[in-house]
Amino acid sequence: MDINLWNPSGHLSVLAILITALLLGMVHGITPDEHTWPITFSYSVGSYSSRGGRKMGFLFSLAFTFQRALASELAFLALSQFEFANRWGYEVYFVVGIVMWLSGLYILNRGTAWHLFDFGHRHAHAQTAEPAQEPRPLPRYMPLVHGFIAGWGVGAFAVIIYTVLAPQMPTVWVGWVPGALFGLGTMLMQVVLGGLFGAWMSRRHLPESVRVYVARKMSGRTLAGGGIGFIIVALLGILFPTVISNLAVVTPLHIHNLHNLGVGFFLAVILLFSVATWAFWKSVREGAHLSERQIAKSHA
């Protein structure tokens, strides 16, 4: 049995289809991807633990798996290319960006007015030297909502599932299986990555009294900043689709997400980690100041 993850084509056996879908999902989950990494990272660091990060990765990819199974069945029923995914790629970016931005604002704004560009509540600092109130935890259903929406994004993996693997399934009753296995492969890797992201946050040398504050602030700022980035890229893609799609660097690696480094790589790696670095630095500074004030109060 010849498994080709780069360009599966021709008539495949059912077993080959299922193995290919699962392995493609694992590659998708571990490589930088705008549909997974920015969201999983942002939620996982807010959990400030390996276990919490794994849970965030699981919840996000659980809804993602459901979406891919649904879309796989729709592709089987169409028996042709899943065209709407290609047409609405940048619109999906826009919706994902809106959800990220609103999620970030939800975390950052407790008992204060919402601000479009001020992730740090400058008005709170103007009133008191102490940082703003402890950011609120994100509802557990938000990663599920985000995973379902993000799953409608299109890429090389989605095209293979919808146009090659799903249409070759033998009956309508199992048309959803390639998408489900792809989602499960992604879930496995996202749970691992979520645990690593959460563990990284938990191992920062921060006082216990401010660890939650810093983790949630960083999570909120990363979500809000990343969301604005998604929105900007989406609008540029809608207005200038050809120009944005052609902005890519081709590498010799025949691995999807690593061969053609385009807008997805920019969102998942360059933008994400730039915003996360700034968010971590700013949140740690505020956390250190909060710790100093708490110590001073205890000695008063």
Round to whole Å and give the CA distance between 231 and 116: 13
List 261's β-bridge partners, or say none: 249
Higher pLDDT: 83 or 248? It is: 248
d(Cα 77, Cα 234) in Å, to the nearest integer?
29
pLDDT of amino acid 209: 65
Per-residue pLDDT of 51-76, as tens digits, reads 888 999 999 999 999 999 998 998 88
Per-residue pLDDT, 110? 61
The tokens for 192 are: 């691992």
Per-residue model confidence (pLDDT) at position 133: 62
Spatial contact of 99 and 185, defined as CB atoms under 8 Å apart: no
Task: List the structure tokens of 11.
Answer: 């008539």
Nearest-Å Rg of the Cα atoms of the chain is 21
Which of 167, 166, 200 shows the shortest CA–CA distance to 183? 166
Question: Any alpha helices (H) in 31-88, and if so which ranges?
Answer: 37-47, 50-78, 83-87
Report the percentage of the chain scoring pLDDT > 90.
Answer: 38
pLDDT attached to residue 85: 47
Q: What is the pLDDT of residues 256-276, one digit of tens each?
A: 888 889 888 888 888 988 999
Burial of 170 (0-12, 13-18, 19+ CB in 10 A): exposed
Look up tokens 């504050």; give the residue: 213
Q: Give the DSSP H or E segment for 196.
A: helix 177-202
Give yes or no for residue 127 having a pLDDT over 50: no
Give the model confidence (pLDDT) of 172-184 as tens digits. 999 999 999 999 9
- Residue 232 to residue 225: CA distance in whole angstroms: 11
Above pLDDT 70, what percent of the chain?
Answer: 84
- What pLDDT, in 10s, does the model give residues 131-185? 446 677 777 788 899 899 888 877 788 889 988 899 999 999 999 999 999 999 9
**What pLDDT, in 10s, does the model give residues 75-84?**
888 754 555 4
